[in-house]
Each structure stands twice: as C-alpha cells, then as structure tokens.
Structure 1
C-alpha cells in the first residue's frame, strides 16, 4: 500500500529561522501565516474547514491524518459535515499522511481537497518537536516554501480577517419561529444547525450589517479569525445592542467582541487553546465540562463593567471562558458549545439562549 504518494520536498521556516523539511501534499505553492498547533485526535475535515483558521498554518499533533478522507461539501449547513464551503487556513503540517482513506462519507483524499482549495500541506514533519517549539516560544509566523519560492512572513493578526471570511449577502435559514440575527464573523455551519434544531429562524448577516434595517428577536455574534481589537465597528454595534433588551449570545470571537463592548480587554495568548479537550468550570455550580476550543486571544475579565459576572473559567490556566450579564439575557462563551469536532457537553448554552428568547417574547405579549 502506498501510504504517501508524493515525495516532492518542501519546508516550513519559522520566524526564528528554525526549519523543518518534509514532503508536499495539496497545492504546490509557497504560503505564509501564523503557525499554530491543534491537539484534536479526530475531526480534521471540520477543523480545516473552520473559518477561524484564516491566515494560519495549522500543525496537527495527532500523528496519522487523512485515513478517513473528506466528505462532500454542501451549501446547506443542515446537510454538510464541513464547517464552511472552503478551506480558509494557509497550510497544514502533519506527521504521517495516509493517501488511502476509508469512510462511508469520504469522497476524496485530504491532499486532493487541499489542492482544490489551493492550500499546501507538509507531511513527514516532526510535529512533536514543532509543537514543543511553539509551546516554549509561543506561536510564531512561518512559511511553507515550495521549489525555493521564498516569500515574506505574514502576520494575519494585523488584518481585518473577518471582512475576508464573512458572507457578503444576507441569507435566511428556516421559515418559522423567532428570528435570530446572526452576525457572521466567520460562522461555523454547526452554530446555524444548533439554532435551527431548536425551532428558530436564523438571519445570517455580514459582519458590518446595520441591525436597524431588520426586525429580530435576538442576536448572536459568531466565531471568527483574528485580533478582536481590530474590529472596532463591530464592537460599537455590540455596545449599542447591549443597551437593548434583546437576548444576545457570543461564541469565541463573538465572546471577545462582547467582552470589549462590556469594558474588558483582550490579550494574545502564548500559544492559545486549539483542541477538543479543554476543561472549563461553571462558577455557580462548580460543574466541569470538556469543551472544543480554537482561539489565540483571551479576555481579561478583571475590568468588566458593573453588572457583569464571570461564568466559566479554564481549569488548565484559569483564563476566562465565559461571562453573563446579571440582569439582562446576555450570555457569552469562549469555547464552542456546538463542538464539531469535539464533545457536546455544553450544547445547553443554546437551550439557555432560546429560553431567554421565549421569555422575552412572553413578557412582550403580556
């Protein structure tokens, strides 16, 4: 069995000039971005199709990747197993690659999927050493160099990445139920699916949409890529919405946007949380949940404005994982309650959000 196929050599060069030579899969061109690592053991199609990875080169720490192929991409979030309709990251780094794949949903190899999306990948890399380097030194800029076609290092955190991944057109999902205005900052399909499964209508709007133009019952700020402090206009919209009585939910980048709007600050983490086994504790109940996470920035909740309280903390490093308003129906979490990939321990976050919408609706009618 040919486990590899392509033996064309290429290399990853970090900004500290440390170099890792490997073999190429995917698209044969050089690429640059921020090098990060993900510790998930499964779910590489969902992870790679997550728009939150825009501008990043992802090192997958699990040793064997590609063995169950890639499922078909569909435009309807309810029918696809992928989290978006394209790959947004700038490259992947893996240890062992399997050309042969076997799964009931697999229709193509990982390499062919990368090629179709013009994304390069490297295998036969010492990912343990690379991950150790990133843990000890923090995430670094890096570049995949193919055929000695060198290029400049690229820092994605200085750009408006949300503008690049957000859908440009308004689209409505579902026909009945309360209308959730979904600010698409790079929204995963599974967030839409979780809302639809709970009987609401979802209106997905671009990141810079004027919410005064439509009627809605609640707001959700989605996940997405980049430095939250870059998105000043989105933060201003969040500040305006906080003043209303509409239920609001923030997820991942949406959590950071709401945090800044609520008076908190954010900071870049040394190497972030990217994986499917991050433990968080709910402050009131002291219950622990295992969560899926993908973020390189975190919230400093020490300077939240009065009226807000910390909801979740990370049990590994005590960083903020969520907060809520003490009197309004505003919920916000750093982790991904929709998972995909990862555990679904915290899907109750969506239930709380829907319950808040229904409660406000009953009060309005009375």
Structure 2
C-alpha cells in the first residue's frame, strides 16, 4: 500500500537521483570529449616527425611514446613531445608495450618491409594500429596483418591521409552525387626525382619495390576513389634509364587499369623526374582535375565551372583527428582500413606480374 509518506520518499529520491544521473552523464560525455588517443610511433624517420608535429594541432590525439632502434632518437622524442621515458621502447623491448596502459595505439612508420612484423607485435600487445602505406610488401603479409588485428580485437587503419583531405573529399562527393556524370576516363600520375642512391627506398630488402610501392600507390588509390570502382585487370610496362641506381627496384612504371564499367585509367609513377603529380577525371557532365593531387599540398583543383574552393589543411592533422575519432568513438572511417590497403596490394602485385610477363593483361581477384 502506497502511503503519503512513501510517496514523498519516492518523489524526493527521484528528485535527487535524476539530477545526479544527468550530471554523471554530462560528466561522462565531457570525459569522452576530452579523451585523447595516445599514440606511440614505431620508426622515427622524417615522416614520423611530420605526423607527430601535425598532431600538435589535433584536438583528440597526442604523441605518447616511441619505438626505435636508436636510443638518441628516443631521448629526443621524449623531450620534444613531452612524454615519459617509460613510454620509450627499443625494437627488442617492443613486446613490453602490452603492459603500458598509457598507450592506446601504435603508428607504424618504419620501413615498408617492417610494417608487417611491427603491426603483428602491436596487435599482439592489444594496441590499435595505424600503419603507413604501403601497408606491406606482399598480399600475404597484408592478409596476415588484417587477421592479427581482428584476432586481437583492435583496429587497423592505413595512413591514407588524402581520404581526409578536403579537395579529395570534394572529388569523391561530386563523383558519388552524379555531378560529374558517367566517368569515362581517368589519368593518375605521381612521382619525383629521388636523391641519395644509398637510401633504404632503393633497397628491395627494405622497400619491397621502388616508385610503385612508394608513390605509385597514390595513383592506384586515386583512380579507385575517382571511379568508385575496383579495377578488374591491369597491364603494365617498366622503363629504366639508370640501371645502377635502380638495380634492385623499379624506376618508372606506366600501367592501365580496367574497371567493370568499362573505364580505363592510364597511370604512371617514377623516381626519375619531378612535377608528376596529377589526377584528372572526365565525366560526361563535367571534369575534375587535381594538380597537385597527391603531395603534401597545398592541393589545387578545378572543374569545368572554374576553381574549386576548399580549405587548405595540414593533411596529417585532419588524418589523425579523423582516425582518433574512429578509434575512440567507433565513427565510420573514409575507406582507410586494412581492407583498403589490401586491395591496393593486390593491384600492385598484379602490376609487377604483368611487367614480368611482358605487359600481358593480368586479371585481379579480390
């Protein structure tokens, strides 16, 4: 039986509890909003520093640790980015990162051939992984990386910074909305004149390949997001002008990719000359041209209506902000996971297979 006294007790209790629940919810929401993804970098080369510096302007991620085979670099990073020396690891002590609750994710920025073992180590330690492109040097390795992250229940994201970049996003939006009409032709090129002949990028053992692995992947990925399709065949040709410098890896490669709709993308990559950075997409209603298209920027774009107006951003800042949101809040990512990286690796392997077979057409299986 409900008495007036019991009723008043219930009302009083509710009046106290509801504001408390509301306060707790607001507090939790605020904590979630204030939470930052704590990232340790694995491999402390120039690109790792570029990303780490860009993260200073990100609202939701911080540099929290480092993994390197060079003690002086670890000391320098800890001082520069203000994290504890307890968050520094050598490659030999990498596995111990599993015991560190102050690191959420590992950004693998080591040489291409080390992406696979370092990703497996990070996943085994229970850390989310962001891996620089190319995600691996073989399809088999890419598949193993995806499987390891799934088994550990951690996310695997690939450093496709352009998937977060405004001019690139506008191209994807216009293509998806139909503003360009039916896509009929794509031209994608990316390359530069490489310097130091002794650098790791020219050693197959470390790089896995040459211009194709390093920057040709931009042209592959660009043609894919320009069409919204996956290529079903490739045919490729290789050219070398300096057989000594490029004795282990490719110098210049041209290739064609055929898509289910009938579109053929003409693509090229090189380590032999500069000013080779363009993506041109022709539709029956309009065109979209990015030039520069794949470098660090500022990117520029135009259509048949004139210059495209989009904000100029630091690519790595918006990339890391978006990826942190994906990891922390499980928000959708713009096609930058391990599956995306695997598709590019399958295309790269098909290109090398075509070259080995004198430019013969190679079908791609996904």
TM-score range, shorter chain: under 0.3
Q: Which has the higher strand share?
A: 1
**Using CA pairs below 8 Å that are at least 6 residues apart, which structure has the higher relative contact order?**
2
Q: Which has the higher helix share?
A: 2
Q: Give the number of the structure whose alpha-carbon radius of gyration is greater.
A: 2
- TM-score, normalising length: structure 1: 0.27
